[in-house]
Structure 1
Amino acid sequence: MTLTGQDPALLRRLNAVAVLRALHAVDEATLTELVRATAISRATVEDVIAGLQDEGLAEEVSPKASDPRPVGRPAKRYRFRAEAGYVVGLDIGPHKVLALTADLTGRIVDTRRSAVSPQAEPDERLAAARTVVRRSLRAAGVRTGQVRALGVATTGVVDPADGKVVIADRLPGWAGLDLPAALDGLANGPVLVGNDTNLAALAEHWRGAATDADDVLCILAGRSIAAGLLIGGKLHHGRNGAAGEIGVMRAFGWYTALDRFLAYGQDRPGEGAPSKPAAERVFEAVRQGDQQAAAIVRDFARDLAKGIGAAVLTMDPELIVLGGGLSGAGELLTKPLREELAKICLFPVRVEPSTLGSQSVALGAVRLALNKVEHTLFSV
């Protein structure tokens, strides 16, 4: 449908957005396919495509040698230029900083990681973050001026209005930090900040275990335990950005739940220093039939279910995604967790392990940045 009205500039923008959306959604398309997808006249689509080419957002695609030779003149094909800009997703955690550089379709073109100490001061951690981002851009052949947005994930409570860290008990000196200002200059666009577990939930909805669900409770269980909420396909931050901070209620047992893994094997001094993380040793022992290890996992699942059950009874989600380091245990943990939740919840709820591994948080930061860029590209 070609729109008409009193404002020619508005009409041009509406038509441009419609064509750009249609082109962005496919690998490539002919003018006829774009006319069909947008219900805009062919002449208007041709004008829009010419404008998008001038802006560097679209280009004509040359026929491949393997394509069948058509009778008559071949139809011109066009594609969205994903390389017209880039975004970076940055995960700043207690033990590492991880940067993912992606094009405008979300294709990851480089991954960089650096270890940091949990005791590192803010200046040291921020310096490591800036270095990782610059190395990722350099490796991908991307200039800072091409980066349209930088998404940043951090532990702690983040003010959804301005991206400042309000509460952060896991990183020394991190509370009160203005991350958008601290990381200014790494992108030719906005610096957007979100809580790490919230962004993990966003990533699971985008490319992970929750692509078929809109009401999702995401749990990150690793060196600590945290929750993120996705309601109606959108992140739920709460008024102060503290939605999902279940672990602060010590009655739920999340503060001490992980101590169960640390205690395993301490009564076996003859075995020497452990070569693997405590939780990994426990799950490995469960696979070998160790009853003590199996009891530890059951008790941990019971502790985990207390907080998760409270959230389930509050939001009634379609799906619980278990991410973080412990998600690698798969059914060894999700099965007893389902059993414990069945005792608490009114209705059965799906529990699935994350499919994104250690990159889930950084991928969520990429998606956060892409959301901003796409809003700019597709807004009227």
Structure 2
Amino acid sequence: MTVENALAGLAEQGWVAEAEADEAVSRRVGRPARRFRFRAEAGCMLGFDIGLHKVLAIVADLRGQVLGTRRTAVTPALPAEERLAAARRLGHCTLRSAGLTAQDVRGVGVGTTGVVAADGTVTRSDLLPDWTGTDLVTAFTEPFDAPVMAGNDARLAALAEHWRGAAAGTEDVLYIHVGRRISSGLLIGGKVHTGRHGAAGELGVLPSSRWDTAPGRLLAHWADPQTLFAAAGAGEAKALAALEDFADDLAQGVAAMTLTLDPELVAVGGGLSRAGRLITDPLSRRLAELCLFPVPVAASQLGDEAVALGGIRLALNAVERELFDVNG
């Protein structure tokens, strides 16, 4: 009876529905069993990636199935309030494209650049100075009338890779974002490790890591990353040498973190990860020289949607805790 009462409560809240009986299954003697299904369509989740040059929004059902994706370009000079307004507008647009409204939203997950505290406040952002102090929870709670979770973009990308990307099936993961900047996220026991101030993995602040200048050196003599990747793919010596040098720069910080965490996998995401094995292979070779044990290196499977998908997963975790945690 306790199970029936629990199911009745979930059905009343719209989370489950009684499933039709399967006529192909022969009935046993006695009272027929009632079957229930989880209503993934009972609401939706919104995930955001708010960056320097773009804002990306994803809407998904309660199983995490993506229903719609939208993105818009922004600039680093855009004031914080306008950046937030652009994200909120994009969120509503993404909902409409999926035939949904703000009333359908059950949770929101926001990923962004900078150090993000546990309460969803950006406590430090060197790339967007006026972003420091932004309260992401307050900024998104009222427009979507749902619980809001927020975190650093690289950490949410790591969570997404663990959920449905290159790090699926692994527990201890080092995620490296390589783009116009380099940053990292840590998973320990399958959970995001943020540290006391939300700054775990911010190795790029150390000049000796070479992370702060590596992207600029890589792209100094190329019109854009795609031109570089095409040249390297064609075997052009200058392009291959540039990627080898970049992997060497990247390896200084990755090796230090690998020796600290001893991860099962190093996942490489961000715009420059589109080079695939042209970056992961030389990085793997360099790590083998620097570390005590070899560690697999894999390119992201989620592309530039990783952060927003991590926001979806973060919000789903919060909803699942609310539904399934049992207090004494």
**Greater shift in the superposed pair: 284-293 or 73-82:** 73-82
The one of 234, 258, 268 equivalent to 1:322 is: 268
1:299-358 deviation line (CA, Å, top 9, x unaligned): 110000000001011111111000001111111110000111111100000100111111
Please name the residue that 2:45 is paired with.
87
Please name the residue that 2:286 is paired with.
340
The one of 265, 280, 285 equivalent to 2:226 is: 280
Please name the residue that 1:169 is paired with.
126
**Greater shift in the superposed pair: 176-185 or 193-202:** 176-185
CA contact (8 A) 1:57 1:84 kept: yes
Please name the residue that 2:217 is paired with.
260
Report 1:178-257 matches (<5 A): 178-257=135-214
Distance 2:263 2:114 in 1: 23
CA contact (8 A) 1:150 1:186 kept: no
Q: Report the CA distance between 1:146 and its aligned residue.
A: 2.6
Please name the residue that 2:83 is paired with.
125
Distance 2:160 2:6 in 1: 33
Please name the residue that 1:156 is paired with.
114
Please name the residue that 2:253 is paired with.
307
Report 1:41-52 matches (<5 A): 43-52=1-10
Distance 1:47 1:253 in 2: 59
- The residue type paired with residue 310 of structure 2 is G
**Is residue 251 of structure 2 the alignment partner of residue 293 of structure 1?**
no
Distance 1:70 1:287 in 2: 56
- The residue type paired with residue 147 of structure 1 is V
Distance 1:87 1:71 in 2: 38
Distance 2:132 2:3 in 1: 51
CA contact (8 A) 2:92 2:101 kept: no
Please name the residue that 2:325 is paired with.
379
The one of 121, 143, 149 equivalent to 2:101 is: 143
Please name the residue that 1:78 is paired with.
36
Alignment gaps of 5+ in structure 1:
1-42, 266-273
Secondary structure, counterpart of 2:49 in structure 1: strand
The one of 352, 355, 380 equivalent to 2:301 is: 355
- The residue type paired with residue 288 of structure 1 is A
1:75-101 deviation line (CA, Å, top 9, x unaligned): 653211112222111110111111111
Secondary structure, counterpart of 2:100 in structure 1: coil
Secondary structure, counterpart of 2:141 in structure 1: coil
Distance 1:163 1:72 in 2: 52
- The residue type paired with residue 230 of structure 1 is L
Distance 2:238 2:73 in 1: 33
Q: Report the CA distance between 1:47 and its aligned residue.
A: 4.1
Distance 2:16 2:220 in 1: 58
**Is residue 5 of structure 2 the alignment partner of residue 59 of structure 1?**
no
CA contact (8 A) 1:155 1:195 kept: yes
Distance 2:122 2:6 in 1: 42
**Greater shift in the superposed pair: 311-320 or 48-57:** 48-57
The 1:173–1:51 alpha-carbon spacing in structure 2 relative to 1, beyond 3 Å, is: closer
**Greater shift in the superposed pair: 358-367 or 182-191:** 182-191
Q: Report the CA distance between 1:262 and its aligned residue.
A: 2.2
The 1:302–1:52 alpha-carbon spacing in structure 2 relative to 1, beyond 3 Å, is: same
- The residue type paired with residue 49 of structure 2 is D
Please name the residue that 2:315 is paired with.
369
Q: Which has the larger radius of gyration?
A: 1
Distance 1:324 1:84 in 2: 33
Percent of paired sites with the same residue: 53
Distance 1:263 1:71 in 2: 70
**Greater shift in the superposed pair: 182-191 or 241-250:** 182-191
1:32-54 deviation line (CA, Å, top 9, x unaligned): xxxxxxxxxxx544444333322
- The residue type paired with residue 307 of structure 2 is V
1:124-177 deviation line (CA, Å, top 9, x unaligned): 1111001001111222232323322211000001112x1111111112411111
Secondary structure, counterpart of 2:184 in structure 1: strand
Instruction: Give the superposed CA RMSD.
Output: 1.8
Distance 2:25 2:262 in 1: 55
- The residue type paired with residue 85 of structure 1 is G
CA contact (8 A) 1:53 1:59 kept: yes
- The residue type paired with residue 136 of structure 2 is L
Secondary structure, counterpart of 1:51 in structure 2: helix
Distance 1:378 1:257 in 2: 45
